[in-house]
Amino acid sequence: MSPLIQCPKCRAWLLGGVFNRPDVAPCQSCGTPLQVEVFPALFRKILPGPTAQAVLVEGESSCFFHPQKKAVVPCAGCGRFLCALCDCELNGQHFCPACLETGKSKGKIKTLENQRTRYDTIALGLAILPVLIFYLTIITAPMTLFVAIRYWNAPQSIVRRTRFRFILAIIIALLQIGGWTAFFIVIATSK
């Protein structure tokens, strides 16, 4: 990516006047008030990645994925030997591409996790939304309890770490089940 920055409105290249100022300044081209905070990373050169060296001496450790390339590091996940090309460094640890993919899909490597399902919100939604059509609660109340109990220990939101919604959903579901039980008891006893 070029170190030049475009005006977000007119896409003209910004050359000066708006960078690292305490207040907004107009774009030289369209006059849109802009404030651009620039950091040294913008001008950092992207260095080419390491290249794998070929195995020169017979018996020298070679890469699991490229047997003709020299191994430089073992994978922290599976222990396989990796060449410089297959070595993916993450927070000081070295992984092979396969372990990196597994770590991402199974949520084993926290910093690679980019999505989570909010089961507590699902449970609360199941408990609250059908109240509008009350007859549905006969089905959704047990479903709410199932979701709340089944996913009680599932990873929650990275940023909100309380089980308040689960607890609220369970209470509402129990009230609904209690209501239905009372309703059926009343019907049964009145006959």
Interacting residues toward another protein by CB under 8 A = 1-5, 7-17, 19-21, 24, 27-30, 32-44, 46, 111, 113-119, 121-122, 125, 157-159
Q: Which is nearer to another protein, 33 or 79 (CB)?
A: 33
Selection from 137, 107, 144, 139 nearest residue 122 by Cα: 144
Between CA 86 and CA 77 the distance in angstroms is 13
Min dist. Cβ of residue 190 to another protein (A) = 41
Min dist. Cβ of residue 102 to another protein (A) = 19
Q: Which is nearer to another protein, 36 or 136 (CB)?
A: 36
Min dist. Cβ of residue 7 to another protein (A) = 8
Give SS3 for 187: helix
Residue appearing with tokens 């090309």:
85
Min dist. Cβ of residue 79 to another protein (A) = 27
Q: Which is nearer to another protein, 12 or 54 (CB)?
A: 12
User: Phi/psi of residue 114, each to 5°?
Assistant: -125, 5
Selection from 84, 88, 79, 59 nearest residue 69 by Cα: 84
Contacts (Cβ under 8 Å, ≥6 apart) of 8: 32, 34
Q: Which is nearer to another protein, 20 or 189 (CB)?
A: 20
Q: How many residues make up the chain in this entry? A: 191
